[in-house]
Structure 1
């Protein structure tokens, strides 16, 4: 086979092949060996990245290890995004197959070059490559089978990433969780063979080089970094507990740590990109299994906050473990912004389908910034109401709050109101429910496959603060 592939990008208004290639489509060519792709009208970075991913996946058997991209007249960020999409085509979930066929771009020595290179393109490509590599890592985490992806596996992943990219990682084992009073996490963990882990990651931007030696008294020195705490749901498999789920699609509950994956990816990405922020990522990790020791509906537990919770439904476990994460973040870090992200409710899926995540926040400026970051990154969000009238459904006769109102029609908002209860009325709190977008049916796998949703959105938001 030809050792080099030529991939030509055409602006949407380019006259070449105008009658043959419609915007957003491509043709295969023999001389030179490769493809001609016409950019869509008003091309956006995330759209072009996705279309290049489709191309790379569909045509992987025709690809070679060396590709030249002809990018004359094409914006550098668009070119870089297209290249990132080609690299996303390397991802496949079949790590445990006895025979794995690698994408040519995954081979050692693979190379992508550009006909029109520049420092701006090099910078844009480096950023895209950085994000793609981390995105593929967290996709692999979400797609991993539950017997491998146990709480200690997630903790080891975080420790390895922190050591490699220079951010701090602390892992609380079961004894440390007990000493800390992480009662909600430990309650969910009662039915598991694996002890819970509570993973705390911390990244703080540090000036380097000339900027670091500028001396005290500069304007930059006088501006403290904003502190952001992000909590990700780390349920490595969710049976529903005693309130057990049905068997249909139960195997997909290995993805119930999609929020944790987004936090892991965000922490790694901002450390690699050296984003100017102080970010704390927290992942309470356990599975939710059925056992004689499992918590039961009617139980009353005490969380890290000291507040008591009546268990109505053991399948509403994600909000339990995250309530401990929110309480811990407030107690030890006093963040300027507090956010959680989780594959939390079927209600969010029934409301928005598989097109966007649900956003709930009473802070309008924070909500607007997250919506804008979602649009820019291609990981879209849309708001749901946060009215206090919904809180009455969580009133309990026997405890400070119950974990489920029994009204699935507003289940996503229920979850927000429950989590809000553990934020100490934080003025800048947001909740993201990504149940419909962390895992998707599509052209890249026979079954549903991880998307890595949340990482790009959160990086975009953090860079804009």
Structure 2
């Protein structure tokens, strides 16, 4: 059985000269007639056979042409992804495995970054098989005149690697991926990046520290829970401390409140929030960002057994708050509550962000391509949304409605797990109870964490959504710190 981690991606780099004998790729812009980028004059290209629509590809001899639409970053990202998918398909029929892409002289850094990201992850393929993998495109050089694009491409490749690694973790079948496996994968990834520390705590430690939520959710499985803590210490003392918390439910049956059979097989991706946090920490450390970041992933399986927790139970979360359980299929908020309380008490964060495939309500509200954003701090909310725009992930801010806050109170415990009302909002209000006075954002990715078809740079399966946003968010704090140091 082969499922190599990490999945190999197309290597993208910048060059200032063409390679002799290497197939060329030209870009095309829509119009009447279609406008071709540089290099068309040296090659025999029939413009009548070309479309400038973003992502449209055509092959003429050994030359490929890809449309970049109106030239917006999303168009360039889609172009890179569509091109690589077409080249992969051609490679399987004995086509080439390396290409030179000729970029216009006036191409922007944003366009280069978007095209690189699309090209790197657009051809992502995860398959557990005993067969040899098919021939694939291995590398691509972007021929551009500005050497400064090398740094742009380097960062885009880092974001692509984080997206891909997050997809890998979420796509792994749950007969392989249990909490222990996820922890081991985080440790292995951390060892490959200088300065990134990874610590794994077992069920004995969780019991000693009274992580009642994680232990309750994981109690129905023969494979015990884990608590994963990744630490990037930053580069200097006194830097902002950003704590990221990701839901790590490696499989979710729903517990006693069992899910319908249809769709349950997709619950291998119910740890996509945790995967995004692990991948983001790796990406942040690779860039040596001057900001302190800690990633917490409470990992458990939610199963049905004689030791499973029940509706009506009252559990004591880390830190002492008691929770009335009303639905064992709302397990994500219970494990997140422990981790959030742990962060507030022990890590003293300046900023706290959690990310989770939390509620079906957000899928109904925002569909499958936009993440829900809740925040107690306007500056933090703006940073998350702007980070998403920068890396091609869409977020929509949702309200924390105070008229619903009282519904979180329980008659027999401090709080109740599933208050009535709009499910995405009440889940966020429940989580807020564990965040102290720390500026906090909750990212509900139940919709965009999985895809059932190809679009833009996304392929079917786990999408890796949120990993890029988290890296870019950390970088905004790094830039703020650098600006403050300069002023000081």
- Verify: 1:91 aligned to 2:124, yes or no: yes
**How much has 1:50 moved relative to structure 2?**
3.1
**How much has 1:11 moved relative to structure 2?**
5.2
Q: Mapping of 1:312-391 within 5 angstroms?
A: 312-391=326-405
Q: Mapping of 1:50-199 within 5 angstroms?
A: 50-63=78-91, 64-73=96-105, 74-94=107-127, 96-105=128-137, 110-166=138-194, 167-199=196-228
Contact between 1:71 and 1:114, CA under 8 Å: does it hold in 2?
Answer: yes
- Verify: 1:37 aligned to 2:66, yes or no: yes
TM-score norm. by structure 1 comes to 0.89
Counterpart of 2:12 in structure 1 is: none
**How much has 1:55 moved relative to structure 2?**
2.8
* SS at 1:340 equivalent: strand
* SS at 1:119 equivalent: coil
Contact between 2:29 and 2:35, CA under 8 Å: does it hold in 1?
Answer: no
- Verify: 1:200 aligned to 2:229, yes or no: yes
Counterpart of 2:481 in structure 1 is: none
Out of 15, 21, 24, the residue aligned to residue 54 of structure 2 is 24
**How much has 1:111 moved relative to structure 2?**
3.4
Q: Mapping of 1:414-425 within 5 angstroms?
A: 414-425=426-437
Take 2:450 and 2:139, find their aligned partners in 1: how far apart are those partners? 30
Take 1:458 and 1:446, find their aligned partners in 2: how far apart are those partners? 18
- Unmatched tracts of structure 1, length 5 or more: 208-220
Larger mean CA deviation between 398-407 and 142-151 belongs to: 398-407
* SS at 1:52 equivalent: helix
- Unmatched tracts of structure 2, length 5 or more: 1-19, 37-46, 478-488
Contact between 2:321 and 2:414, CA under 8 Å: does it hold in 1?
Answer: yes
- Cα deviations across residues 61-116 of structure 1 (Å, max 9, x unaligned)? 2142111111132234423432332222442121x2122434522xxxx4322333
Number of aligned positions between the proteins:
439
Counterpart of 1:216 in structure 2 is: none
- Cα deviations across residues 277-309 of structure 1 (Å, max 9, x unaligned)? 101100000010000110101111101020111
* SS at 1:443 equivalent: coil
**How much has 1:19 moved relative to structure 2?**
8.8
